[in-house]
Structure 1
Amino acid sequence: MNKTNQHSRIEVVDAIRGIAVAMILMLHGIEHFNLYNQSDPISPLLQLTDRMVWDCLWFVVGGKAYAIFALLFGFSFYIMEQNALRRGQDFRLRFCWRMLLLFGFGCFNAAFFCGEVLVLYSIVGFVLPLVCRLKNKTLLIIAAVLMLQPVDWIKMAYAALTDSQSTILEFNFEPYWNNSMKMLSEGNFVQTVLTNLWDGQIFSLAWAWGAGRFCQTASLFILGLVAGRIQWFADTPHNRSMWAKTFAAALLAFMPLYGLSTLLPDFASTLPLDTTGIAGMFTSKSFMTPMMLIVNSLHKFCFMTMIVTGLLFAFYSTRLARPMRYIMPYGRMSLTNYITQSIIGSFLFYHWGLHLNLCDTWSLLLCITVLSLQITFCRWWMSSHSHGPLEGLWKKLTWIGSDR
């Protein structure tokens, strides 16, 4: 591939990453960074816009922005590994050290926001050096198995075979959630930090396990690695055809899966509680919960795929390329921006800070203001630096002790 195409490939990845981080900020903002202390507006107009903001953001962003971020994480591993191989270096052990550093960044971030994902990424990230020498076909099989949520298939099989209402392979994080939420709404800064670092992280990781994020994140990391290998983000006639087919396949899969996600609970609610046999399984929470997780996980993956392919077409084919290029510096500083979001968000909404109690509409407008300030800072910073502040620090610490 020529240097122009390679450069464009990196640009589009920076643009998509920036959009994903911006989407994460919007969703976390209306959640008040997990505090959920939104006010109920009196105005009928604000009630309408609140409902629109909440429903639209959850439909478009929920479970998708994080997935885009994870996909591009795997792609970034591919870029770093290839750069190391060109220098005659084996990047795998160095990447493991990089994940330990990311764990440190994640803990710092978690001190402010207990719902962050960097700690999860630092744990799941160890899968990449384990599989990076496998063939693409093998990687795709592994990614497919992980995307299908094997843990939840085990839960379903257990519920079906034992006719049990109890669940397995789950962790009760409710006490940790309650402790964390109490401190976010009542505690001072030091109390909030200490609680976030222990109770907050336990409930966050336990929730991620129960929500299938461990398997799905590993799958997306691997898919990002494969996307790098096959040059999927490059603008070529072959790729444009592949993007169109991928978009169509994702759309065709999304529609029935999304339909199932709404129809299955309604179907289950019509069945008598004493229903037996196959139909009886749909009245069992221990069976329905993992089934719904699988269906929801898959339809969100399909929607995420449509977003990514749509953004690729937008970047390479339409006038939307210009605003997407505008946000590229924001994507290049994704670690700095993600952690900064947590600091700003906790100050705005938690008890130790301003403890704002806003409706969804005003929360979104506030986050758009924060996003605008972040983008402005990023464009200024990147005009004279090659990396963001935390990105530069992470890179230096990654290669500490080497002759690079």
Structure 2
Amino acid sequence: MNGASNAHVRPERIEFVDALRGFALFGLLMVHAAEAYSVGLSRGTDDPWGQAIFFLFGSKAFAIFALLFGFSFATIMGNQRGRGVDFTGRFAWRLLLLMAIGFIHSLLYASEILRLLAFLGLLLIPLDRVRSNFALLVIAVLFFLQIPLLIQWMLANWGNAFAGSEPYFANSYLWDTLRTGSLGEIIKANATEGNLVKWSINWSFGRVSEIAGLFAVGVVIQRTGFFARIAKDRAIALGLLLIGGTIFAILDFIVKPMVPGSPSGAEFAIGSFTERAILFQWIGISAITAQIGLLALLWNSPMQSIVGLFRGPGRMTLTLYVAHSFVAVPILYQFGLGMAEVWDTQTRIVLAIVFFGLQILFAHWWYTQFRYGPLEWTWRAATLNDWNVPLRKNVQPAV
């Protein structure tokens, strides 16, 4: 999520990045609403509303977050380096704190992304030592090639039973527990089985390598000032939209129908599963390229005020992201109101849009009074071990 690097010196924010981060937060909420927060995974794609949400945000919103995570890391390290400070150890501590927040969050919602981003974020520390942007882009491409998945594929073809076996998450008892378990049973399952399932999903679908690659690209984007430029240059934004949109259309509408599915059970095939995992990665990357270009175009138009609505949530994504689960899970799960069995996908999505609208209002009100979101301030103060970090904005003296 987003964060700053120093308690007393505040670098100038790129407001377009805040809006982009808020857009990604909205996308995550939409996907989670379609899935009924893991209670109705299969139902989320069974109707036009769910299909539309996954087309727009599935495997895309989290990718924007990963890209911006790398961007924020490079911003923090660059700002501190400019002050002559080596922030490496402090940033590692910052990631451990995020892992702790993510673990607490995961006890209620196992599919949350904070732990994954924080753990893989440790890769950013050695990536920061690579001073060549070209070398970082080469490293990103190597991650995007999904070499671990290809090795697994080859091992399966050579007869390795473990490499060719069905992914662990496919037959986990976690899904039944989420649908019917008590709060205590869900917390216990999320603390144990949930971690195994989460890593199985992210490994099997290639997200581990993809996130690492997006981290590297995010660092290059920060170093080159690309987001600051695209927020002002309509030609670059249009180029991104056209290139990303063209590649996305080719992959999603032409190539994807040609790649066989990956059935489960006795017919599971590692080859077709791997092919689709790698294909979906490139579909997602091309899609977010187009989305970033489109948002930048709108930012440079009379529509800026509408895109700008995402800025408030984009400045407090950690707080709002965690709040999503603490509101939605008790409403949807059987231990609470059990509304996942009552509301269809359309209803859940419409209600989620309304909920996010309320969060926009809350975030914009909050930042008229305070400098940071609640969890953002806590994370920042704990990172710096300085609980005197000012939260409220300075009050102007009376005239």
What band does the TM-score fall into relative to the shorter chain? 0.7 to 0.9
Q: For residues 117-266 of structure 1, what are the structure 2 equivalents within 5 Å?
A: 117-134=113-130, 135-160=132-157, 162=158, 167=163, 172-175=168-171, 177-178=172-173, 180-235=174-229, 240-258=234-252, 259-265=254-260
Q: For residues 245-324 of structure 1, what are the structure 2 equivalents within 5 Å?
A: 245-258=239-252, 259-265=254-260, 285-315=269-299, 317-324=300-307
1:299-345 per-residue CA deviation (whole Å, 9 max, x = no partner) reads 11111111111111211x21221012222111100000100001111
Out of 359, 369, 383, which is 1:384 matched to? 369
Counterpart code for 1:21: L
**Aligned equivalents of 1:53, 1:366: Cα separation in 2:** 13
Out of 58, 62, 86, which is 2:54 matched to? 58
Question: Is the Cα–Cα contact under 8 Å of residues 94 and 399 in structure 1 kept in the other structure?
Answer: yes
Give secondary structure in 1 for the equivalent of 2:86: coil
Out of 73, 76, 82, which is 2:78 matched to? 82
Give secondary structure in 2 for the equivalent of 1:375: helix
Q: For residues 15-34 of structure 1, what are the structure 2 equivalents within 5 Å?
A: 15-34=19-38
Change (3 A) 1:94 1:100: same
Give secondary structure in 1 for the equivalent of 2:115: helix
Question: Is the Cα–Cα contact under 8 Å of residues 155 and 169 in structure 1 kept in the other structure?
Answer: no
Give secondary structure in 2 for the equivalent of 1:383: helix
Kindly state the Cα deviation for residue 247 of structure 1 after the two structures are TM-superposed. Answer: 3.1
**Aligned equivalents of 2:310, 2:386: Cα separation in 1:** 34
Change (3 A) 1:284 1:56: closer
Change (3 A) 1:325 1:245: closer
Which has the larger displacement, 109-118 or 81-90?
81-90
In structure 2, runs of 5+ residues without a counterpart are 1-10, 390-399
**Aligned equivalents of 1:169, 1:99: Cα separation in 2:** 33
Change (3 A) 1:189 1:237: closer
Question: Is the Cα–Cα contact under 8 Å of residues 230 and 237 in structure 2 kept in the other structure?
Answer: no
**Aligned equivalents of 1:244, 1:325: Cα separation in 2:** 19
Give secondary structure in 2 for the equivalent of 1:327: helix
Kindly state the Cα deviation for residue 298 of structure 1 after the two structures are TM-superposed. Answer: 0.8
**Aligned equivalents of 2:212, 2:234: Cα separation in 1:** 26
Question: Is the Cα–Cα contact under 8 Å of residues 109 and 325 in structure 2 kept in the other structure?
Answer: yes
Out of 318, 322, 345, which is 1:360 matched to? 345
Give secondary structure in 2 for the equivalent of 1:342: helix
Kindly state the Cα deviation for residue 38 of structure 1 after the two structures are TM-superposed. Answer: 8.7
Change (3 A) 1:209 1:114: same
**Aligned equivalents of 1:23, 1:389: Cα separation in 2:** 22
**Aligned equivalents of 1:327, 1:67: Cα separation in 2:** 17
Question: Is the Cα–Cα contact under 8 Å of residues 153 and 164 in structure 2 kept in the other structure?
Answer: no
What is the percentage of aligned positions where both structures have the same residue? 28
Give secondary structure in 2 for the equivalent of 1:226: helix
Counterpart code for 1:328: R
**Aligned equivalents of 2:41, 2:280: Cα separation in 1:** 26
1:210-264 per-residue CA deviation (whole Å, 9 max, x = no partner) reads 1111100111111111100110111369954443333333233323322222112
Question: Is the Cα–Cα contact under 8 Å of residues 312 and 367 in structure 2 kept in the other structure?
Answer: yes
Say what the alpha-carbon RMSD is for the aligned residues.
2.8
Normalised TM-score (structure 1): 0.85
Give secondary structure in 2 for the equivalent of 1:243: helix
Counterpart code for 2:285: F
1:348 and 2:331 correspond: yes
Change (3 A) 1:397 1:182: same
Counterpart code for 1:148: L
Normalised TM-score (structure 2): 0.86
1:140-184 per-residue CA deviation (whole Å, 9 max, x = no partner) reads 000011112111222333345x27786359852345x32x22322
Kindly state the Cα deviation for residue 10 of structure 1 after the two structures are TM-superposed. Answer: 1.4
1:35 and 2:39 correspond: yes
Which has the larger displacement, 252-261 or 354-363?
252-261
Change (3 A) 1:348 1:244: same
